[in-house]
Structure 1
Amino acid sequence: MNNSHFHDQPFDDATLLKLEIFRGYIRQWLPVFLSKQTYSEVHIYDFFAGPGTDATGNCGSPLVIIEELEQYLKDARAPVAPGVDIFLHFNDNDCDKVAKLQQLVSERKTTLSYDVDFTSTDFRMALFANLDLIQRNDTANLIIMDQYGFKEVDERIFQTLIQCDTTDILFFVSSTHVRRFAKEDAVQRFINISPEKIEAISAKEIHRFICREFYQKLVPDNYQYYVVPFSIEKDSSTNIYGIIFGTSNLLGLDKFLQVCWNTDDVTGEANYNIDEEIIHGGQMSLLDECAVSKKQDKFQKEMKVFIEQRQPDNRELYRYIIENGFLPKHANPMLKTMCEEGTLCVLEIDPEKEARKNAFYLGWPNYSGVPPKVQFKLRVT
């Protein structure tokens, strides 16, 4: 389908899932920056906004943003710090689509608490026109780049954006096209991975592979930045697309992982059985050892080694869990079991004594700006 007619058809299930992941992260992101005066301005950019809906009225990404922001601002329980200004920026290179979007936004915008800016220009021009604002140290930014294909968010764009503090990015990649045309110059110019390596990867794993082999390797060695994929299978075929998320903040990573694990409770990585797990899709093995996914089993074994070698405090263990793509809810059952078996000792740090039962303190509230509370040690047998 021609890109210009994409919104003239109903969104397929894969597109709807992509939009739900966008929605989920926006919902997690808003309270982080609206509830405190840490940043005087909060900006959300949608550089491939489209007309706002598909042929049947399903909301596209800009209206998803509007809905989530309106819902948050109308919730009396949702904190909004005084002095925080909110700006939305919607761009599309098709001026007719922007005109339609402008009309839809005017119908849905019910509060003066935020401003909306509309532009119709090329993606790069729109991005670099806003780059000074994005790079300011008093702005918090979420950038959505729902590109067609894979060519727009290239190496230069990616490396520019990861250097912007307090800027999270979400972008789409048509990974199946990279795999299908890996040897073509049109692919190699933008995704510089050996065609032989790409061809050796299964279709199911291609999006994850592109993220690890290309985008993650663009991050400088001395720079803390997290790049995470979520793979999406279209119409139960070998057509694999996906989202790539980027953030320099551990809390941002935590929030995105929550969205991913809510979508896929087996691996947190895909809307299909990416690792050919026996327990995926409601299936359950009669063997106890298969009741945990291969990914989770590997993580549990590695976490035990980490505890043995590092004797981490709760802050260090939380960071280890998140940086390995898991959440505290995945670690807690194992820690409880180890305590019950007598193989794990959890000690309060000040004063040093055995902590109360199942008091692990794993989570952002016990990580950010507070001293460690407990230390984990394996018991010597």
Structure 2
Amino acid sequence: MVKKSYEWKTGAELEEHSRRKHKIVREYFARYLAVRCQLPQRSRFRLAIVDGFAGAGTYNCGASGSPLIFIEELQRATEEFNIRRATEGMSPLDIECLLIFNDFDPTAVELLKERVAPLIAASAETTPRLHLKVEHFSQKFETAYPRIKQLIERGNYRNVIFNLDQCGTSHVEQQTISDICRSFTSAEIFYTFMITSLLAFLQRTDRTQLGRQLRPFGLTENDLVDLDRVLNNKEWLGAAERIVFNTFSRCAAYVSPFSINNPDGWRYWFIHFANNYRARQEYNNVLHDNATMQAHFGRSGLDMLSYDPSHNGALYLFDPPGREDAKQQLHEDIPRMITNFGDAVQVGEFYSSIYNSTPAHTDDVHAVMIENPDLEIVTEQGGERRRPNTIKPGDILRMKRQRSFPSFYSSPDRAR
């Protein structure tokens, strides 16, 4: 599908799915900065942000587009961090950010320059600890990417965020996503596309594999001819989610294959790629803070895609009822996962093993670790953790010697 052409000069309309994406990006980026800048010893943090389909910066309703969202959150965070540091007697923090904005539409780029320039000038006056450098491109993203990559590498930026808000799948190649994640150790990507574009691509390139992925859900390629008929079907969401995950799972260590929850069906996918479990952990938490904005169909504990489509799956909208169901499944799943390691595992290693396959909130995972009668958390000093909010990656999660259901956890995995 060709990317929708926005009328930036007369004022582009902010559609609901874009509004939802922007809210998640804003809140996740705020959390990203808070986590990455929390060390008291850190006095400087450097990052590069690439907005590959940047647009003109604002919409006709006055809402900020993603380029302005990034700048606004950088200003807010720099001010808040330094006020807090000053009150606590800590050294100040400088944030250096390279902003790279690209859009194929020259009009959008010129409008964006006009809107960004006064923000940068004001920031230099009001937020002297924030150091912004802006580069503008007006090319197809794939054409611009080699130069963008070169700019980032030349500046020795290790922390990199790419926002690739496209509508189709033809604007960003899969190998480019893989290259970003391979090239930068601390890389994260927000990637948007329409499921119809991915299906059209798979029908051209791998019809056999597509057929195999649809079959367990009682769907065939013929159903895709009249896709509007099945877009609101929960089983369709389950099938599409597996297709999305299988397509992109090799691009990064952690891939969130969740659809934007739209009233007119699951059409838009908003994927987060990361190389570190900590990023996926925080992303899951932000989704729970924005319940019903994204959707998952399947299991809500661990192994979220490992369920039998012939049985009823569950629609998980990151809301309170979903979280209660997730905790029930986690009470079974966590002990079973530990037995795969033996009878104990370091918490950090446990996180690494689960966060590509669960939509669960960190608080729910931690609560089950404490509440489950068959589990215990041991500190590095040998003590026992008793509160969920005190659990550390260096702790040991292990099975208790006296278990309430010793035979259950050795049984084969059961689909829910």
State the one-letter code of the partner of 2:115: L
State the one-letter code of the partner of 1:71: R
Q: Deviations over 1:5-63 (max 9, x none)?
A: 26544222211001111112211222444566598741111010011122222221111
Count of residue pairs brought into register by the alignment? 348
Conservation of the 8 A alpha-carbon contact between 2:259 and 2:296: no
* Alpha-carbon distance in 2 for matches of 1:118, 1:279: 39
Judged with a 3 Å threshold, the aligned counterparts in structure 2 of structure 1 residues 375 and 120 are, in CA distance, closer, same or farther, namely: closer
| 1:262 lines up with 2:289 in the alignment | yes
Structure 1 position 145, deviation (Å): 0.7
* Alpha-carbon distance in 2 for matches of 1:283, 1:319: 25
State the one-letter code of the partner of 2:386: K
Judged with a 3 Å threshold, the aligned counterparts in structure 2 of structure 1 residues 84 and 15 are, in CA distance, closer, same or farther, namely: closer
* Alpha-carbon distance in 2 for matches of 1:195, 1:172: 21
Structure 1 position 154, deviation (Å): 1.7
Structure 1 position 139, deviation (Å): 2.9
* Alpha-carbon distance in 2 for matches of 1:346, 1:122: 51
Conservation of the 8 A alpha-carbon contact between 1:35 and 1:81: no
* Alpha-carbon distance in 2 for matches of 1:166, 1:48: 21
Q: Deviations over 1:277-299 (max 9, x none)?
A: 48969896xxxxx9832x55433
Conservation of the 8 A alpha-carbon contact between 1:314 and 1:376: no
Judged with a 3 Å threshold, the aligned counterparts in structure 2 of structure 1 residues 118 and 323 are, in CA distance, closer, same or farther, namely: same
Q: 1:27 aligns with which of 26, 30, 36?
A: 30
- 2:344 aligns with 311
| 1:159 lines up with 2:178 in the alignment | yes
* Alpha-carbon distance in 1 for matches of 2:369, 2:123: 47
* Alpha-carbon distance in 2 for matches of 1:199, 1:89: 39
* Alpha-carbon distance in 1 for matches of 2:94, 2:20: 35
Q: 2:248 aligns with which of 211, 215, 235?
A: 215
Conservation of the 8 A alpha-carbon contact between 2:29 and 2:70: yes
State the one-letter code of the partner of 2:123: T
- 2:20 aligns with 17
TM-score (norm 1): 0.78
- 1:147 aligns with 166
* Alpha-carbon distance in 2 for matches of 1:41, 1:283: 37
Structure 1 position 107, deviation (Å): 3.4
Conservation of the 8 A alpha-carbon contact between 1:203 and 1:238: no
- 1:123 aligns with 141
Conservation of the 8 A alpha-carbon contact between 2:101 and 2:135: yes
Partner secondary structure for residue 246 of structure 1: strand
Q: Deviations over 1:114-161 (max 9, x none)?
A: 122222122112211021343465431111111121112222212211
Judged with a 3 Å threshold, the aligned counterparts in structure 2 of structure 1 residues 321 and 329 are, in CA distance, closer, same or farther, namely: farther
* Alpha-carbon distance in 2 for matches of 1:151, 1:26: 26
Structure 1 position 307, deviation (Å): 3.1
Conservation of the 8 A alpha-carbon contact between 2:46 and 2:97: yes
| 1:232 lines up with 2:251 in the alignment | no
State the one-letter code of the partner of 1:330: D
Conservation of the 8 A alpha-carbon contact between 2:48 and 2:157: no
% identity of equivalent residues:
18
- 1:106 aligns with 117
Conservation of the 8 A alpha-carbon contact between 2:331 and 2:372: no
Partner secondary structure for residue 301 of structure 1: helix
Conservation of the 8 A alpha-carbon contact between 1:344 and 1:379: no
* Alpha-carbon distance in 2 for matches of 1:140, 1:263: 25
Partner secondary structure for residue 10 of structure 1: coil
Structure 1 position 345, deviation (Å): 4.0
Structure 1 position 304, deviation (Å): 1.2
Structure 1 position 184, deviation (Å): 4.9
TM-score (norm 2): 0.72
* Alpha-carbon distance in 1 for matches of 2:375, 2:260: 38
* Alpha-carbon distance in 1 for matches of 2:23, 2:109: 22
State the one-letter code of the partner of 1:17: R
Partner secondary structure for residue 172 of structure 2: coil
Judged with a 3 Å threshold, the aligned counterparts in structure 2 of structure 1 residues 88 and 170 are, in CA distance, closer, same or farther, namely: same
State the one-letter code of the partner of 2:387: N
- 1:298 aligns with 329
State the one-letter code of the partner of 2:164: M
Structure 1 position 172, deviation (Å): 0.5
State the one-letter code of the partner of 2:83: R
* Alpha-carbon distance in 2 for matches of 1:157, 1:138: 18
| 1:77 lines up with 2:83 in the alignment | yes
Partner secondary structure for residue 111 of structure 1: helix
Judged with a 3 Å threshold, the aligned counterparts in structure 2 of structure 1 residues 282 and 149 are, in CA distance, closer, same or farther, namely: closer
Q: Deviations over 1:56-94 (max 9, x none)?
A: 222211111121112112324366965652211111111
Partner secondary structure for residue 345 of structure 2: coil
